[in-house]
């Protein structure tokens, strides 16, 4: 059964293994929500499946339930009405731990086949998961489908492929033969087995519940670690569906369903700190605030902790042939999902000499982009949390308003919270204002003496506060090189002169890395070697033959 | 110049890349201290070079010197009389940091070529380094040559090869082309560069100053990090020679010598805590006590910390065809370097039914092995520290003496401290006694009800106190399998039924891993993927083409 799954998905695995050495364009799960690809009824079926989840209990195949929990509200303005099992983690964790040896001893190929099958099933559920993502994160429909479905699956697959490669770089067995002059040779047979670390905890965020979770989930699971997912209380549904699918595939293949489990909490009674410091928990993947990420790194000392935290992304505008494509590209990047991506630029450094020209062009481009109601709601999505709304309202005090944030209305959801980005001018001296993350649609335009100062401020900001993306616009190769060297110092991925259909906040699986682990925004780069290597160890046994 | 070095050593690198995928027998640096291999005068030249170091200042090509320091005493009973630069680390570290961009920007091949050349030069100095190792660690001559010279170089090379593979698994550039229906394709050129973490600190131990340091040194250096070595105050010389050679090769190739620097201290004024918590220090490799290793993990939070600490290694004796080869193999393992290896067994679990037979045979074999004075001093070497001598003297109180530790005399060094292993019988209930590391030639023989209890005690001990090696003797495949499963749980490398010329405390580079990172004895496995992956990050830059 299980080797059948490995064979079934072997081409995907092999494609992935090639892709990670080439890092060119490669994708498995189609990103277009089209009936031609997913089947004529897929969209309607997904809609029905999603609707059938609403206003009832969501059950899972795992031990330790002691009641129900959950009160998600869609940022589009209604309550989901779903409850989830409330879990006694002191009952759940020992039972997960008890299943570790069976999962470990199943071996690399069996685990890999099962994980690849889970990914395929998740892909089939992309419309349902997309809608659950939309109504928890507040993303627009198309983005919710892509980021919550195929793009998240691609990232999960990418992490799985890296982990598979890491596990198989050491052979399963070898023969070591040492010739000692004229004496008989020393002949030793050695076996190398993969030992998982223990239970892996994935702490998810509300804005990208699946995209940010799947790399940790699949990297830990395929290396033999049982995984417990702790969703954000505002974005449980996409992960509950994920866990349900994983449990189904596990059971079909003779494994305990609770090798992948879900533990929910509510804001009034958070469980993450308790869960994260349990002795059995040996791996933690976290996406969220710097304060909580730092707390985990400091306190969950029994575990290896992979964090993605806050950051301040920067754009440096130096020079351009044409301004219009520059500001058009930027205004889309700034507006997409109302700036609630960890890759959205926050600070734009512009030399004084061209500041007014650029600022006005950007404001004009943004206004035009969002002038059509349907288009605006597709691009902006909703503001996910009340905290972000409050932050946005307070932000007008932080600088001179270049373009106010506008309330937009959604044609189907009257209570949806749609906001366009606020553009503020702040003085380069006001570092306390702009050198900290202002999560949401808040953008600082900062006039500088020259581009050298711009790059220096971006570098200092990234080293102190972290950053995941930088962009630069310059017609001068020497300036691009100067920025590239600064990006090496600060450990930030750089995009140069994007003016077409690629945006600084987009990262393609199997080609772009997400974060570097080299500045305070993250201590790991999602999916690559260092992200997977610590999730298992190699234990050898040797004897003469 | 530098690409010449890469080409010069390319075959070594390619051989290493194949070896780490096969993990069979492979070695580059000859382990036999023979004139036929190293040149007819190599031994005498090495002796002269070593003697020329004694009783004078050792100078290095690095900034920040503020005087001299150093007072090593050979465990063979005389003072080395060498002083080393005393360093102001607040002057040294910024100047090391200032050289990081040049070393980083030199690129993978240049750094790899230089590191391989350093290894070759170290190999040429093996006799000199071997003698410095002998007269600091107290190892016997042959072992001091092998472990301090070629075996250490092999481990350094192994770490370098893993790091090279990790850096080159991502291509330097790629082209990402995404077709969008009938629209023009999105065409993006991406570059991926290796960004080192910062200054790397290697904290060495007194028993294996080079063997335990070279993996961290070469893994960090080849990935672009300047390296500062902090030797144990009792074992500076082998590392001072190492740094001198590295500095020579760096200068010859146009780099600053202090990319590899040495910082010494003395027991009365230790500097490691200060050094390890400097903001510039981003990587730390440590070998030594659990107390200090844990302190580093807890306090050097700005760095990634790789530690090898104390452990309690176990042997389980279940059954055998012939007892004599079993005890002969064990008595050598226990005697080698007076049990001062982190891989030496401490606890031997024996079922009550065969306890007396095994204990007496082991005592007899040990006595016979060490009955010849020359042979005994070659095998035993010296006790490295007064603390170990004191521990050995106090240990007779810990159980029933099966074989007392004997004072041996060295034919050339009257004041050398030679001691044979003490064999003690302790009750299985006395876990407080034997489930902690008693570093040195102290061996506990523990009668158990049966092998299942033996395995359970070994497992519990390893999980609580750490372990690097286990051995088992059994004629029953089911028992071997039971022990193998326990070794996966506890994360300990297992040797089964060693009765010939291979010993449980020996680990061959490119085949055996050293430690697993899966129990308290170490948080990393020397040289493999997880050991190198965190030492750099990949930073990308992309633009349309």
Q: In this predicted model, what pLDDT tens digit does every residue of A245-255 receive, in sequence order?
A: 999 999 999 99
- Shortest Cα distance, chain B CAs vs residue A138, angstroms: 26
Q: What is the ipTM of this complex?
A: 0.97
pLDDT of residue B373: 87
Per cent of chain B over pLDDT 70 is 100
Residue A1 parent element (H or E): none
Q: Give chain A positions within 8 Å (CB) of B500.
A: 186, 544
Given the DSSP bridges, would you call strands B493-496 and B469-473 parallel, antiparallel or unpaired? Answer: parallel
Cβ-defined contact of B544 to A499 (cutoff 8 Å): yes
Q: Is any Cβ of chain B less than 8 angstroms from the Cβ of A170?
A: yes
Using DSSP, state whether A473 is helix, strand or coil: strand
> What does the pLDDT look like over A47-81, one tens digit per residue?
999 999 999 999 999 999 999 999 999 999 999 99
CB B259 within 8 Å of CB B102: no
Q: Nearest Cβ partner of A188 from B480, B502, B534?
A: B502
Q: Nearest Cβ partner of A529 from B22, B166, B484?
A: B166
Taking only residues 107 to 136 of chain A, the set having a beta carbon closer than 8 angstroms to any beta carbon of chain B reads none
Mutate to test the interface with B, among A541, A543, A544, A545 (most CBs of B within 10 A): A541
Mutate to test the interface with B, among A30, A102, A108, A530 (most CBs of B within 10 A): A530
Cβ-defined contact of A171 to B496 (cutoff 8 Å): no
> What does the pLDDT look like over A514-534, one tens digit per residue?
999 999 999 999 988 999 999
- Shortest Cα distance, chain A CAs vs residue B487, angstroms: 7
Q: Which of A160, A36, A59, A14 is nearest to A528 (CA)?
A: A160
Q: Nearest Cβ partner of A496 from B485, B498, B542?
A: B542
Q: Cβ contacts of residue A352 below 8 Å, gap of 6+?
A: A447, A448, A449
Q: Which of B163, B493, B478 is nearest to A195 (CA)?
A: B493
Q: Which of B528, B527, B464 is nearest to B492 (CA)?
A: B464
Write the DSSP symbol of residue B522.
B
Specify burial of residue B178 (Cβ count, 10 A radius: 0-12, 13-18, 19+). Answer: middle
Distance CA A245, CA A135 (A): 20
Q: Is any Cβ of chain B less than 8 angstroms from the Cβ of A504?
A: no
Domain ranges for chain A:
2-15+31-169+197-310+525-537, 314-496
Cβ-defined contact of B176 to A20 (cutoff 8 Å): no
Distance CA A485, CA A495 (A): 13
Q: Could you give the C-alpha distances from A453 to A36, A355, A492, in angstroms and in order?
A: 51, 14, 18
Rg for chain A (alpha carbons), in Å?
24
Taking only residues 473 to 502 of chain A, the set having a beta carbon closer than 8 angstroms to any beta carbon of chain B reads 480, 484-485, 487-489, 491-502
Write the DSSP symbol of residue B270.
-
Cβ-defined contact of A530 to B544 (cutoff 8 Å): no
Q: Give chain B positions within 8 Å (CB) of A516.
A: 195, 537-539
Q: Could you give the C-alpha distances from B130 to A458, B32, B52, B141, B183, in angstroms and in order?
A: 50, 12, 14, 7, 68
Q: Is any Cβ of chain A less than 8 angstroms from the Cβ of B36?
A: no
- Tokens encoding A305: 């902790």
Mutate to test the interface with B, among A36, A192, A473, A511 (most CBs of B within 10 A): A511
Q: Which of B457, B466, B427 is nearest to B444 (CA)?
A: B427
Q: Give chain B positions within 8 Å (CB) of A543.
A: 480, 495-498
Q: Nearest Cβ partner of A171 from B22, B492, B512?
A: B22
For domain B2-13+35-310+524-544, give its CATH number from 2.40.30.110, 3.20.10.10, 3.90.480.20, 3.40.605.10.
3.40.605.10
Q: Could you give the C-alpha distances from A274 to A281, B141, B355, in angstroms and in order?
A: 10, 54, 46
Taking only residues 272 to 331 of chain A, the set having a beta carbon closer than 8 angstroms to any beta carbon of chain B reads 297-298, 301
B63-83 mean pLDDT: 97
Distance CA A486, CA A472 (A): 12
Minimum Cα–Cα distance from A491: chain B residue: B539
Q: Tally Cβ neighbours within 10 Å of residue B301.
A: 12
Distance CA A469, CA A491 (A): 9
Crossing angle of the two packed helices A108-124 and A237-252, in degrees rounded to 10: 130
Q: Which of B105, B110, B106 is nearest to B2 (CA)?
A: B110
Write the DSSP symbol of residue A37.
H
Q: Give chain A positions within 8 Å (CB) of B512.
A: 190, 540, 542
Q: Nearest Cβ partner of A516 from B20, B491, B539?
A: B539
Cβ-defined contact of A23 to B177 (cutoff 8 Å): no
Minimum Cα–Cα distance from A533: chain B residue: B530
- Shortest Cα distance, chain B CAs vs residue A179, angstroms: 9
Mutate to test the interface with B, among A171, A483, A521, A543 (most CBs of B within 10 A): A543
Q: For residue A2, what pLDDT band results from cuts at 50, 70 and 90?
A: low
Q: Nearest Cβ partner of A176 from B24, B171, B542?
A: B24
Q: For residue B2, what pLDDT band results from cuts at 50, 70 and 90?
A: low
Q: Is any Cβ of chain B less than 8 angstroms from the Cβ of A176?
A: yes
Taking only residues 515 to 544 of chain B, the set having a beta carbon closer than 8 angstroms to any beta carbon of chain A reads 516-518, 525, 528-530, 533-534, 537-544
Distance CA B214, CA B260 (A): 12
Q: Nearest Cβ partner of A539 from B180, B493, B500?
A: B493
Q: Tally Cβ neighbours within 10 Å of residue B324.
A: 12
Instruction: Give the 3-state DSSP-derived string for A51-117, with helices as H, strands as E and coil as C.
Output: HHHCCCECCCCCCCEEEEECCCEECCCEECCCEEEEECHHHHHHHHHHHHHHHHHCCHHHHHHHHHH
Q: Give chain A positions within 8 Å (CB) of B186.
A: 500-502
pLDDT of residue B180: 83
Write the DSSP symbol of residue B181.
T
A237-249 mean pLDDT: 98
Q: How many residues belong to chain A?
A: 545
Statement: residue A181 has pLDDT above 90: no
Place of tokens 């909703």: A382
> What does the pLDDT look like over B325-350, one tens digit per residue?
999 999 999 999 999 999 999 999 99
> What does the pLDDT look like over B19-45, one tens digit per residue?
999 999 999 999 999 999 999 999 999
- Shortest Cα distance, chain B CAs vs residue A198, angstroms: 10
Write the DSSP symbol of residue B396.
G
CB B403 within 8 Å of CB B369: no
Q: How many residues belong to chain B?
A: 545
A452-469 mean pLDDT: 98
Statement: residue A154 has pLDDT above 90: yes
> What does the pLDDT look like over A371-405, one tens digit per residue?
998 899 999 999 999 999 999 999 999 999 999 99
B52-61, B433-442, B525-534: least confident range? B525-534
Q: Is any Cβ of chain B less than 8 angstroms from the Cβ of A174?
A: yes
Q: Is any Cβ of chain A less than 8 angstroms from the Cβ of B98?
A: no
> What does the pLDDT look like over B351-405, one tens digit per residue?
999 999 999 999 999 999 999 988 899 999 999 999 999 999 999 999 999 999 9
Q: Give chain A positions within 8 Å (CB) of B176.
A: 23-25, 508, 511
Minimum Cα–Cα distance from A181: chain B residue: B32
> What does the pLDDT look like over A530-539, one tens digit per residue?
999 999 999 9
Distance CA B244, CA B166 (A): 28
Cβ-defined contact of B538 to A525 (cutoff 8 Å): yes
Cβ-defined contact of A539 to B487 (cutoff 8 Å): yes
Alpha helices by DSSP H, listed for A300-441, are: 323-335, 352-369, 373-380, 386-395, 431-434
pLDDT of residue A183: 87
- Tokens encoding B124: 């040429």
Statement: residue B1 has pLDDT above 80: no
Per cent of chain B over pLDDT 90 is 97
Name A418's bridge partners: A408
Using DSSP, state whether A259 is helix, strand or coil: helix
Distance CA B520, CA B308 (A): 9
A260-282 mean pLDDT: 97
Place of tokens 């040495």: B262
pLDDT of residue A35: 93
B457-484 mean pLDDT: 98
Statement: residue A1 has pLDDT above 60: no
CB B382 within 8 Å of CB B416: yes
Cβ-defined contact of B178 to A297 (cutoff 8 Å): no
- pTM here is 0.97
Q: What is B314-496's CATH number? A: 3.40.309.10
Q: Which of A531, A514, A538, A522 is nearest to A219 (CA)?
A: A531
pLDDT of residue A373: 87
Q: Which of A210, A456, A462, A427 is nearest to A345 (CA)?
A: A462
- Shortest Cα distance, chain B CAs vs residue A423, angstroms: 26
- Shortest Cα distance, chain A CAs vs residue B185, angstroms: 9
> What does the pLDDT look like over B496-513, one tens digit per residue?
999 999 999 999 999 999
Cβ-defined contact of A197 to B518 (cutoff 8 Å): yes
Q: Give chain B positions within 8 Å (CB) of A484.
A: 193, 541
Cβ-defined contact of B542 to A193 (cutoff 8 Å): no
Q: Could you give the C-alpha distances from B281 to B97, B147, B305, in angstroms and in order?
A: 9, 28, 10
A84-94 mean pLDDT: 98
Class of domain A2-15+31-169+197-310+525-537: alpha beta
Across the A:B interface, residue pairs with CB atoms under 8 Å apart total 195
A267-276, A335-344, B135-144, B180-189: least confident range? B180-189
Chain centroid to CA B211: how far?
4
Cβ-defined contact of B542 to A485 (cutoff 8 Å): no
CB A308 within 8 Å of CB A212: yes
Q: Is any Cβ of chain A less than 8 angstroms from the Cβ of B176?
A: yes
């Amino acid at each position: 059964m299980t080797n059948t799954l490995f064979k079934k998905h072997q081409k995907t695995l092999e494609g992935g293994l090639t892709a990670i050495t080439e890092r060119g364009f490669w994708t498995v799960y189609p990103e277009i929500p089209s009936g031609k690809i997913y089947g004529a009824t897929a969209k309607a079926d997904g809609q029905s499946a999603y609707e059938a989840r609403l206003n009832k209990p969501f059950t899972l195949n795992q031990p330790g339930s002691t009641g129900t929990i959950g009160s998600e509200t869609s940022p589009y303005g209604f309550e989901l009405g779903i409850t989830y099992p409330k879990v006694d983690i002191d009952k759940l964790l020992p039972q997960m731990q008890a299943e570790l040896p069976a999962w470990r001893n199943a071996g690399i190929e069996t685990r890999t086949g099962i994980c690849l099958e889970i990914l395929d099933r998740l892909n089939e559920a992309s419309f349902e998961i997309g809608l659950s993502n939309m109504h928890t994160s507040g993303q627009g429909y198309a983005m919710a489908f892509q980021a919550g479905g195929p793009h998240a699956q691609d990232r999960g697959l990418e992490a799985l492929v890296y982990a598979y490669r890491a596990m198989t770089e050491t052979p399963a067995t070898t023969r070591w033969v040492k010739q000692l002059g004229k004496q008989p040779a020393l002949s030793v047979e050695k076996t190398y087995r993969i030992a998982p670390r223990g239970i892996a905890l994935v702490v998810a965020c509300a804005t990208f519940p699946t995209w940010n979770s799947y790399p940790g989930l699949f990297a830990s699971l395929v290396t033999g670690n049982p995984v417990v997912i702790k969703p954000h209380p505002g974005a449980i549904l996409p992960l509950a569906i994920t866990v349900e699918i994983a449990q189904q595939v596990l059971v079909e293949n003779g494994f305990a369903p609770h090798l992948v489990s879900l533990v929910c909490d509510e804001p009034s009674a958070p469980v993450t700190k308790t869960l994260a410091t349990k002795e059995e928990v040996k791996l933690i993947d976290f996406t969220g605030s710097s304060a909580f990420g730092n707390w985990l790194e400091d306190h969950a000392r029994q575990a290896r902790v992979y964090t993605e935290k806050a950051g301040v992304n920067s754009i440096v505008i130096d020079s351009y042939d044409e301004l219009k494509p520059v500001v058009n590209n930027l205004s889309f990047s700034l507006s997409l999902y109302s700036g609630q991506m960890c890759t959205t630029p926050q600070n734009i450094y512009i030399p004084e000499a061209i500041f007014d020209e650029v600022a006005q062009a950007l404001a004009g481009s943004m206004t035009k982009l969002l002038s059509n109601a349907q288009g605006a709601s597709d691009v902006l999505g909703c503001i996910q949390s009340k905290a972000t709304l409050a932050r946005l309202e307070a932000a007008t005090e932080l600088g001179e308003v270049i373009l106010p944030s506008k309330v937009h209305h959604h044609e189907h959801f009257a209570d949806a919270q749609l906001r366009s980005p606020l553009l503020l001018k702040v003085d380069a001296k006001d570092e306390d204002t702009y050198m900290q993350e202002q999560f949401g649609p808040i953008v600082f335009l900062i006039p500088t003496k020259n581009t050298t100062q711009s790059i220096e401020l971006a570098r200092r900001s990234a080293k102190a506060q972290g950053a995941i993306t930088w962009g630069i616009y310059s017609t001068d190769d020497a300036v691009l090189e100067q920025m590239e060297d600064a990006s090496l110092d600060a450990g930030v991925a750089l995009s140069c002169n994007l003016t077409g259909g690629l945006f600084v906040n987009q990262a393609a699986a199997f080609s772009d890395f997400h974060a570097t682990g080299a500045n305070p925004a993250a201590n790991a780069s999602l999916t690559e070697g260092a992200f997977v290597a610590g999730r298992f160890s190699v234990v050898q046994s040797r004897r003469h033959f």
